[in-house]
């Protein structure tokens, strides 16, 4: 009971199926839940571009604006393409569902693997970037970055286990706080620049740009494409919206894209005008200051407004992980229903959320943060491959859908999705090549490994289905009474309950005691004679098993094997008496022989294991 009380205190009371509709999200709640990941990229996408360019020279940083414009155009193309996906696939699943239904099983599983990796990395990158924002404002916290990140993941996991509606309300405040903060930063920043209060160090338009290599431009472009992460989230989670779910999802998507595009271009342009470059330590947790922090400090100085923006940035980066917590469990549940993932992932928990998927995501992200030391820039190269692979497969699937079904206005949809497929495929190639040695190779190896895992799980479920399939006609045949074996260490009230149960199901009962202690064995024999008579006259058979190596379990298993050889084809039932302590911690004071024996016998055929529990009152 204590565990259940603690669970209810942390996660809240269980919700009934009738409350499911109330857990679906209105647009104002859905925006922070599904778009916090995309919006949070404002905090690091510009910086990722500048890190690559500034490595060559400060002058090369002027290329940031044309690169950002290209990324913004790509963002618009992909988002319009996902509007098509929402309309035609309102049941969710996103790239996995679209690719599997239109391109086949393998492309669908590749999209599923890419999305799952993307969501795990979303949590790791967002939390790490949030910690970077904290350490930019409070450098003394830098040595504790990993511990802070792990603590934040634990909090996010628990909040999401409380349910979609409740977590949506909690997460909406930081998201709208961030939107207001960045909007004020851009308005004040451009206004002060226009007044001349903040003289610009560079113009928006340049007559000439310094010559830099194409590969460097492509690397900067690939890094800046982190701005596109998370825009697929709404199409994956359409069922979480209130009715009309598809219409509400499309409206929310366009609001998100408008805010994201404006903020990304605004931050890049303002940083461009004031020649803000990444600090020597970058935006990781090594004590460097992020570009957004420098920009806020330039506009507001060390005022309360600066710290408000840093607080809002840290919060949105942490909340960005919630997009993955909303979509990963839903995708895992779909894969579970399709038998490519464990079925447990499709179970809905007490709070009407996919609790197992939420827990798995939290553990996986925590492991990544620990392995990569909560370093945002070490994780980003792993991020983009899965994102653009899922984009490309989703858009290609939509192209195939239009060609196959030719619904009204299909040509317009075809051209839009074809443009999206080509654009994201090109970006995928750029990312894979330019980020390969920085860690992208890990994802390129992991995705096929996950594909093999999916197929292996599917084969297992198909094998189980074949073996459990009933014949066309069947009856319940007469069953020969079972031989019952009752292993005991001595006589107590729990043993008597087990023996009474055994006598109720069979007349062929073997009571086994393992001779690990001569005095204890002698005591068993004495009690047997006093209460049940001589061993030869009793309907129960007392069997004393030798234990030359002092093992309790092995002699019992050997005796069962001997009985099986002497009675081929007959079922053996092992009745195990065990007492259950009132409090769980009392169990640590007793050996767990019954548990280990049950575990050992579980994987042996024609063995029925019955546990007869006797509950202690104190």
Q: Does a structural domain hold residue 337?
A: no
- Distance CA(586)–CA(568), nearest Å, equals 41
Please identify, among 401, 432, 450, the residue that sits at the C-terminal boundary of a domain: 450
CB distance 321 to 129 below 8 Å? no
In the listed set 408, 432, 450, which residue is the last one of a domain according to the structure? Answer: 450
Looking at the fold, whether 129 and 201 belong to one and the same domain comes out as: yes
Residue 467 lies in a domain: no
Q: What is the pLDDT of residue 478?
A: 65
Task: Check which CATH number belongs to the domain holding 25 and give it.
Answer: 1.20.1740.10
Tell me whether residue 535 is in a domain: yes
Report pLDDT for 393. Answer: 93
- Whether 315 maps to a domain, the answer reads yes
For 209, phi then psi, to 5°, come to: -115, 140
pLDDT along the chain (618 residues), means of 10: 53 48 70 82 86 75 87 89 84 81 93 90 84 79 88 87 63 88 94 85 66 82 82 80 87 92 93 81 54 91 90 83 83 90 80 81 92 79 80 91 88 88 87 80 89 93 85 72 87 89 89 88 87 66 86 89 85 88 76 84 83 83
Same domain, 396 and 523: no
Q: What is the CATH number of the domain that holds 523?
A: 3.40.50.620
Of 443, 513, 343, residue with least CA distance to 121: 443
Residue tagged 């949809």 (tokens): 413
> CA-to-CA distance for 35 and 180, rounded, in angstroms?
15
Per-residue pLDDT at 164: 54
Distance of CA 398 to the CA centre of its chain: 26
Is 474 part of a structural domain of the chain?
A: no
Crossing angle (nearest 10°) for helices 105-137 and 376-405:
150
Cβ partners under 8 Å of residue 40, min gap 6: 126, 129, 178, 230, 316, 317, 319, 320
Tokens 């999200």 belong to residue = 25
One domain, residues 204 and 108: yes
Contact indicator for 576, 594 with CB cutoff of 8 Å? yes
Question: Do 111 and 219 share a domain, yes or no?
Answer: yes
- Regarding whether 386 and 509 lie in a shared domain, the answer is no
Predicted pLDDT at 256: 92
105 with 254, same domain? yes
Label the pairing between strands 572-580 and 607-615. parallel
Is residue 497 within 8 A of residue 612, CB to CB? The reply is: yes
Cis upstream peptide for 244 (omega within 30°): yes
**Do 516 and 409 lie in a common domain?**
no
In-domain check, residue 344: no
Residues with Cβ within 8 Å of 114's Cβ and at least 6 positions away in sequence, in order, are 95, 385, 386, 387, 389, 390, 393, 447
What is the reported pLDDT for 166?
Answer: 54
The two beta strands, 509-515 and 483-488, are parallel
Distance CA 154, CA 141 (A): 19
Residue 478 lies in a domain: no
Give the domain range for residue 550: 483-615
What is the pTM (predicted TM-score) of this model? 0.74
Any alpha helices (H) in 55-144, and if so which ranges?
Answer: 64-88, 94-103, 105-137
The Cα 169–Cα 173 span in angstroms is 7
CB 431 within 8 A of CB 384: yes
Beta-carbon count within 10 A of 90 CB: 17
Same domain, 237 and 159: yes
Q: What is the pLDDT of residue 163?
A: 64
Close Cβ partners of 595 (under 8 Å, ≥ 6 residues apart): none
C-alpha to C-alpha distance for 348 and 238, rounded to whole angstroms: 17
Q: Which residue has the tokens 């070490």?
A: 378
Residues 211 and 278 in one domain: yes
Q: Do 154 and 207 reside in the same domain of the chain?
A: yes
Tokens of 280: 């020597």
Specify whether 557 is located in the same domain as 602: yes
- Burial pattern 481-507, b for ≥16 Cβ within 10 A else e, equals ebbbbbbbbebeebbebbbeebeeeee
**Total number of residues shown for the chain:** 618
For CA atoms 439, 443, 449, 453, the dihedral sign is positive
- Closest to 355 (Cα-Cα) out of 264, 467, 78, 363: 363
CB distance 264 to 291 below 8 Å: no
168 in any annotated domain = yes
The pLDDT assigned to 20 comes to 41
418 and 518 both lie in a single domain:
no
Number of domain units in the chain: 2
């Amino acid at each position: 009971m204590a565990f259940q009380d603690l669970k209810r205190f942390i996660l809240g009371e269980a919700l009934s199926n009738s409350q499911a509709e109330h857990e679906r999200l209105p647009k104002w709640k859905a925006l922070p839940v599904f778009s916090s990941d995309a919006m949070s990229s404002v905090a690091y996408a510009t910086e990722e571009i500048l890190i690559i360019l500034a490595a060559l020279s400060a002058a090369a940083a002027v290329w940031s604006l044309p690169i950002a414009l290209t990324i913004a155009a790509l963002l618009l193309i992909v988002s319009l393409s996902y509007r098509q996906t929402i309309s035609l696939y309102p049941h969710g699943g996103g790239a996995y569902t679209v690719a599997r239904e239109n391109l086949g099983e393998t492309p669908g599983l590749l999209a599923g693997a890419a999305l799952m990796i993307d969501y795990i990395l979303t949590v790791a990158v967002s939390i790490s970037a949030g910690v970077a924002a904290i350490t930019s404002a409070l450098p003394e916290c830098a040595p504790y970055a990993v511990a802070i990140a792990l603590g934040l993941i634990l909090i996010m996991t628990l909040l999401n286990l409380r349910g979609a509606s409740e977590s949506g309300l909690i997460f909406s405040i930081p998201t709208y706080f961030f939107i207001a903060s960045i909007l004020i930063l851009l308005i004040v920043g451009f206004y002060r620049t226009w007044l001349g209060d903040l003289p610009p160090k560079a113009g928006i338009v340049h007559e000439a740009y310094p010559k830099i290599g194409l590969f460097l431009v492509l690397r900067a472009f690939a890094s800046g494409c982190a701005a596109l992460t998370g825009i697929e989230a709404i199409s994956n989670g359409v069922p979480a919206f209130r009715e009309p779910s598809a219409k509400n999802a499309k409206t929310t998507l366009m609001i998100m894209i408008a805010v994201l595009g404006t903020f990304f271009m605004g931050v890049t342009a303002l940083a461009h005008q004031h020649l803000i470059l990444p600090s020597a330590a970058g935006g990781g947790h090594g004590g460097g200051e992020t570009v957004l922090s420098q920009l806020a400090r330039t506009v507001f100085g060390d005022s309360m407004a600066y710290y408000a923006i840093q607080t809002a940035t840290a919060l949105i980066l942490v909340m960005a992980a919630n997009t993955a917590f909303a979509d990963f469990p839903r995708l895992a549940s779909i894969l579970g229903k399709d038998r490519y993932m464990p079925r447990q992932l499709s179970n809905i928990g007490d709070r009407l959320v996919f609790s197992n998927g939420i827990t798995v995501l939290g553990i996986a992200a925590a492991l990544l943060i620990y392995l990569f030391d909560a370093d945002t820039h070490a994780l980003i190269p792993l991020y983009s491959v899965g994102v653009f692979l899922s984009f490309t497969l989703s858009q290609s699937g939509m192209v195939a859908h239009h060609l196959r079904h030719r619904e009204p206005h299909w040509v317009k949809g075809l051209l839009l999705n074809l443009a999206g497929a080509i654009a994201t495929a090109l970006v995928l190639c750029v990312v894979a090549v330019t980020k390969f040695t920085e860690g992208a190779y890990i994802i390129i190896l992991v995705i096929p490994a996950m594909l093999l895992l999916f197929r292996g799980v599917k084969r297992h479920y198909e094998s189980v289905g074949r073996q459990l399939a009933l014949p066309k006609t069947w009856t319940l045949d007469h069953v020969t009474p079972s031989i019952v074996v009752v292993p005991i260490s001595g006589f107590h009230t729990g043993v008597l309950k087990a023996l009474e149960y055994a006598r109720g199901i069979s007349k062929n009962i073997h009571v086994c005691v393992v001779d690990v202690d001569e005095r204890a064995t002698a005591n068993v024999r004495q009690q047997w004679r006093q209460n049940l008579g001589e061993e030869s006259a009793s309907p129960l058979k007392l069997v004393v098993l030798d234990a030359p190596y002092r093992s309790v379990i092995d002699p019992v298993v050997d005796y069962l094997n001997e009985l099986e050889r002497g009675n081929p084809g007959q079922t053996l039932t092992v009745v195990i008496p065990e007492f259950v302590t009132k409090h769980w911690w009392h169990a640590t004071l007793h050996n767990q022989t019954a548990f280990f024996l049950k575990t050992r016998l579980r994987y042996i055929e024609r063995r029925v294991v019955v546990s007869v529990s006797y509950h202690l009152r104190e």
